Amino acid sequence: MKNNEAAENEGLLVRRIKNGTVIDHIDGGEALNVVKILGITGTTQEALSIATNVPSGNMGKKDIVKLTNRELSKEEVDRIALISPRATINIIRNFKVFEKKGVEIPTLIEGLVRCPNPGCISNTHEPIRSKFRVRPEGIHCIYCDWVISRDITSHII
């Protein structure tokens, strides 16, 4: 019953979508960053709904992003995992949840984050993508050993 109420309340904020993806349980305040890392800009044609700081039993506050007519690639899901590891991805087809999955932080992040070290070879015109290994203390550039331990969002390409 509670879930239905929540769903109804949520429905007031963001409409159900016929086909597309609902990214739920985004950490409160991170929805705009999720939109940014998905490359969604003012010129994007498809409908986009964002709800921020929605009350959540488990999380306190959460954000939700609904994208119509778009399913996410693994790389996009990896990007979301970096900034919101509790997020869930719901693929919607014909108004029904076709697939629901959590995000998983990969052990190696390739091409998603720019190394903040200006002396790093990955910041040159070499034909490589940045590579970071995920470690408990943060993400670790495999080229120059730089560790990003906070505010990873600001380094996402």
Partner 1 sequence: MHHIISIGDFDRDGIDRLLDHAGQIQKKKYDAHALDGRILAVLFFEPSTRTRLSFQSAMARLGGTSLSVGSVEACSMAKGETLADTVRVVSGYADAIVIRHPKEGAARLAAEFSTVPVINAGDGAGQHPSQTFLDLYTIRQSMPLDGLDIALIGDLRYGRTAHSLASALSLYNARLHTICPKGLELPATLAAQLAAKGTEIIEHDNLEEIIPDMDVLYVTRIQRERFPDSASYFNVASSYRITPELLAGAKKRLIVLHPLPRVDEIDPRVDALPHARYFEQSRNGVPVRMAMLMQVMQ
The residues binding partner 1 (CB under 8 A) are 117, 119-122, 124-128, 137, 141-147, 149
Least distance (Å) between residue 129 CB and partner 1: 11
d(CA 125, CA 140): 21
Return the number of the residue (74 or 150) whose C-beta is nearest partner 1: 150
Q: Which of 126, 129, 157, 130 is nearest to 146 (CA)?
A: 130
Task: Dig out the tokens for 123 from the structure.
Answer: 């910041």
Return the number of the residue (96 or 125) whose C-beta is nearest partner 1: 125
- Residues whose CB is less than 8 angstroms from the CB of residue 103 and which lie 6 or more positions away in sequence, other chains included: 77, 78, 80, 81, 84, 85, 87, 88, 89
Least distance (Å) between residue 83 CB and partner 1: 21
Least distance (Å) between residue 73 CB and partner 1: 24
Return the number of the residue (9 or 149) whose C-beta is nearest partner 1: 149
